[in-house]
Amino acid sequence: MADRYGADILANNPHRARRPRSTERPIEIGLVVEDAETGFVGAVLRVEYGRMVLEDRNGRTKPFPVGPGYLIDGKAVILTPPKKTGPAAPTRTASGSVAVKGARAKVALPSRIYVEGRHDAELVEQVWGEDLRIEGVVVEYLGGVDDLAAIVAEFRPEPGRRLGVLVDHLVAGSKEARIAEAVRRGRGGEHTLVVGHPFVDIWEAVKPARIGVVQWPVVPKGQDWKHGVCEALGWRHRDQADIAAAWQKIRGR
C-alpha cells in the first residue's frame, strides 16, 4: 500500500537554509554593536575579564558578556576577545631621545668621536648608539690617552671635520688633564673638544642602586679597582673573563 503522506515532513526544515550564521569578530575599542536580546546599541568602551562595556549615543553605559548574541550592521556576530598584538615599537631611544621609526643610519660624517677605554666605548654605544647612527657620527675606540696627540695630528681637525674625545678619569692636575690641555693649544685644537668623567672607572657612572648597593665599594690604593669591586660584591674576579662578565652584569641591570 502506497504511503499517501510520503516521507517525514519534518525531515527537511525549509527555514534552516535561510537561518543566518554568526561569524566571529574580534572586539575593537570603538566598534559599534547591537545586543540582539535587548536592542541596546553602543560603541565598545572597554574590555576586561570576559566582559565589555558599551556606550550609546546618549552616553549611557551598560556591561555585556563577550560572546554570541550581537549584531553588527544587522548581521549576527560572535564577539571574541581582542587580538593580542606584539610589543609596541619603542618611542624613546636608550638615551631618552624620541625614536625615529624606520630611520636609516646616515652616511658617516667626516667628524669623529673617540672614546678612551673599551668599557667606556661599550657604554656609549649602549646609551647613545642609536642616536649617533641616525646622525651619521662614527665612534672610534681610543686605547689610551697617551695616543691622543698622535690621533689628533693624523686626523687633522678643521671646520666641518671636528673631533670629540671622551677621556677616562679626567680630573684637574692629572696626566689626562695635561694631555687634554696640550691638544687644545695645539694644531686643530679649536676644532677638537676633549671632555671626560671624574670617576675612577666608568663602572662608577652606573648608579650603585642598579647593582643593589647604596654606594660603590671603596677599593684600597694599590689594588686593581675592578678586581677590588668584584671582590667586595662577592663576584668572581680571577681573570679578565670574570671582569668582562661582571661588566656585562652591570650593563644589564
Segment 59-104, tens digit of pLDDT: 899 999 999 999 999 899 999 988 776 666 677 888 888 888 777 7
The predicted structure's pLDDT at residue 50: 85
Segment 36-60, tens digit of pLDDT: 999 999 999 888 888 899 999 888 9
The predicted structure's pLDDT at residue 8: 56
The predicted structure's pLDDT at residue 92: 84
Nine-digit cell string for 123: 657604554
Domain locations along the chain: 23-80, 112-196, 205-251
The predicted structure's pLDDT at residue 182: 93
pTM over 0.85? The answer is: no
* Cβ-defined contacts of 100-103 (< 8 Å, 24+): 100/134, 103/134
CATH of domain 112-196: 3.40.50
In this prediction, the residues of the chain whose per-residue pLDDT falls under 70 are 1-20, 85-89
The predicted structure's pLDDT at residue 59: 85
CATH of domain 23-80: 2.30.30.60
Tell me if 71 sits within 8 A of 83, measured CB to CB: no
Q: CA-CA distances (angstroms) from residue 200 to 104, 224, 241?
A: 36, 11, 21
State phi, psi for 27 to the nearest 5 degrees: -70, 140
Nine-digit cell string for 47: 574590555
The predicted structure's pLDDT at residue 184: 92
Backbone φ/ψ region at 96: left (φ over 0), alpha (ψ -120 to 50), beta: left
The predicted structure's pLDDT at residue 4: 56
The predicted structure's pLDDT at residue 2: 56
Strands 112-116 vs 138-142: parallel, antiparallel or unpaired: parallel
Tell me if 197 sits within 8 A of 162, measured CB to CB: no
Nine-digit cell string for 36: 540582539
The predicted structure's pLDDT at residue 150: 92
CA–CA distance, 45 with 47 (Å, rounded to integer): 7
Helix and strand totals (H; E) in the chain: 5, 11
